[in-house]
A and B are shown apart, each in its own frame.
Chain A
Amino acid sequence: MTAQKTAPAAASGPAAPAILPPGVSAGDFAGAIREFITILGAENVLTDADHLAPYTKVMVAESEDLHRPAAVIMARTVEQVQKIMAVCNRVRVPIWPISTGRNFGYGSAAPQSAGQVILDLRHMNRILEVDPVMCTALVEPGVTYQQLKDYLVENNIPLWLSCPAPSAIAGPLGNTVDRGVGYTPYGEHFMMQCGMEVVLADGQVLRTGMGGVQNTNAWQVFKWGYGPYLDGIFTQSNYGVVTKMGMWLMPQPPVYKPFSIRYEKDEDIHDIVETLRPLRIAGVIPNAMVFANVMWEAAAIMPRSKYYQGTGTTPDHVLEEIKAKEGIGAWNVYAALYGTKEQVEVNWNIITGAIKASGKGRIITEEEAGETEPFKYRAKLMRGDMTLQEFGLYRWRGGGGSMWFAPVTVAKGSETRDQTELAKKILGEFGLDYVAEYIVGMRDMHHIIDVLFDRSNPEEMERAHACFAKLLSEFGKRGYAVYRVNTAFMDQTADLYGPVKRHVDQALKRALDPNGIIAPGKSGIRI
């Protein structure tokens, strides 16, 4: 890619873009670029291959050519975003907004289709407000979890974040508008979101919830406002560009007690769910706990080549050897207790009692685990701390290919057994591994499977693509669908949710963005 690149753009003018937005002439696009430069300054309008390269790298099983942006523009203010909308409407330039752009395994920073202009909001990175009394924050899109964490620590504010596993480089706004999840009691991030500011395609600035009320001080404390609740339509969608987001933060508890429970057999997943679901629903276990399988655990500490040099699906006997030698369970539960000493003690007794009564599962406390991984990074995630340890997943097979297959599961033992068997079978047909965890929500679980493959091997990439398509369709036949998906499979996934849903999504799109300039194809939505 670097070989064919044009000279980097200097102050004299932007490099000619390698590709154009569909249906836009070179002349019109050059005109749009000039207008972007007027609005943003030349240093914030990127068209040369060198500067576009970081936005082009994807992990999905498709050529980057299908997701190559025509340009990247970087805004710093709401007014700039409004002006950009005007240009895009006039010239019909599609823009793909990103906040921190770390959507790995879901499409990374690249657009759903080639030729879109990425609107990178990374420089809108002000923490506008942290209210330590109400335990709320208001942030711009470019704020990272690390930045927010540093701010809380430096200002001695005893509040905790809830983050996805790549916490150190991702950000709360991007994660939440894609309805991502974390591992604390606030792990369902969209549930803990409160109030948004959105620039609409026509340039209007909408504040949701209480935000439209003049002089309100309730924007970050009451989610619903009045009339139809709108925040949801700006998540996993393309109806607006979110420029501010309110969120609730968790008071740091006096006592934090992370623990693990190790289970020896694959089929134990049934009893794990049956034993722990009532405790989660009753709030005895308050956080989004995790049930991670042997390969997910192993990947966090070593490449599979340590035990297996072959290709294809990792054989069961190798997994048995890993379990025995590395002390990893077939399933490994991570959960935590938060509260006063007394509260934690009461709940701890309930949990240990339930595990004992179930007749299986071995509890491991923080004291027993010591400094070992993966316990250490799990304990960090369950208190919203910074880590990148889970990138170990990509060392398991190597090659940098990853797509999350993440079907929603009803938190019932029988259903987890069915989904696990089905996923393992299909992945096996394609020579891939079942690297999985269940993240437990309030009633549901996100069954997260990392479809890992060698992206440098075209044959394996093709296989991974076919595998993912089959996972979607076979799960779909049984009434299962994913909660979120990568840019290569957005239409196939939208179909699973039915024609009426697709029609309503499209009607909203036509009403709010009649020229279809914002992120065409996101979640399968176009005008």
Chain B
Amino acid sequence: MKFRPIALAALLTLGMAPAVHASPTGVWRGSNEAWEKVCARCHLSGVGPELRGRQLPPEYIKQVVRHGFLAMPAFPHGAIDDATLDGVALYVSKSRLNAPAKPAAPAKKL
């Protein structure tokens, strides 16, 4: 049995406002997914700095995502389109920090 080809790109951009010169295909179902599957892997694990609850300006966040910053990789439009990034930046900017970021548990002494 073979599975039909899937064109994620075609399915996932629905509902996103087209931005000038933005990457026309989103690869994300929404900003939440991009946050969870990329950003959060470093920024909620202590690998990257805690961003929540700091009211970071969305423009600043977008700038760092596009340009990278030291260890933070730069993300081109093909990896995250403007509409999705807008959503991520807004989410991070407005987020509250209930519990401090959980740094990776250190290895147990065994």
Binding site for B on A (CB under 8 A): 1-2, 8-11, 42-44, 46, 48, 50-51, 53-57, 72, 74, 100-102, 104, 108-109, 120, 122-123, 125-133, 142, 144, 146-147, 151, 155, 157, 168-169, 262, 297, 300-302, 326-328, 362, 364, 368-376, 386-389, 391-392, 394-395, 398-400, 455-456
Contact = CB atoms under 8 A, between A and B. Distances in A.
Contact of A122 (B22, B37, B41, B78): B78
B21 A74 contact: no
A301 B6 contact: no
Given A1-B67, A102-B73, A386-B41, 14 more contacts: A43-B21, A54-B66, A57-B73, A109-B76, A123-B25, A125-B25, A168-B41, A301-B105, A327-B108, A368-B108, A369-B107, A373-B105, A399-B71, A400-B71
Interface in B35-79: 37-38, 41-42, 45, 47-48, 63, 66-79
Given A54-B68, A155-B3, A9 B21 contact: yes
B79 A123 contact: no
B66 A328 contact: no
A391 B21 contact: no
Interface residues of B, number: 45
B27 interface: yes
26 contacts: A8-B21, A43-B22, A51-B76, A53-B67, A54-B67, A108-B73, A109-B76, A122-B79, A125-B9, A126-B5, A126-B8, A127-B5, A128-B5, A132-B3, A168-B41, A262-B110, A297-B107, A301-B105, A302-B106, A326-B107, A368-B110, A369-B107, A374-B107, A389-B41, A395-B48, A455-B70
Given A54-B76, A122-B78, A392-B47, A168 B110 contact: no
A122 B25 CA distance: 10
B1 interface: yes
B107 A55 contact: no
B99 interface: no
A132 B3 CA distance: 9
Contacts of B38: 168-169, 388
Contacts of A300: 104
A102 B38 CA distance: 13
Nearest to A109: B76
Instruction: Give the dominant DSSP class at B's interface.
Output: loop
Contacts, number: 173
Max chain A CB contacts within 10 Å: which of B47, B75, B105? Answer: B47
A43 B24 contact: yes
A398 B71 contact: yes
Contacts of A125: 8-9, 25, 27
B92 to A, nearest CB: 17
A50 B70 contact: no
A369 B106 CA distance: 10
Contacts of B76: 51, 54-55, 72, 101, 109, 120, 122
Contact of A123 (B23, B48, B67): B23
Contacts of A328: 107
Nearest to B49: A395
Contacts of B72: 400
A394 B104 contact: no
Contacts of B47: 388-389, 391-392, 395
A373 B104 contact: yes
B108 A369 contact: yes
Contacts of A46: 21, 77
Given A53-B66, A389-B104, A400-B70, A129 B8 contact: no
Contacts of A10: 20-21
A489 B22 CA distance: 34
Contacts of A126: 5-9
Given A147-B8, A327-B106, A327-B107, A53 B78 contact: no
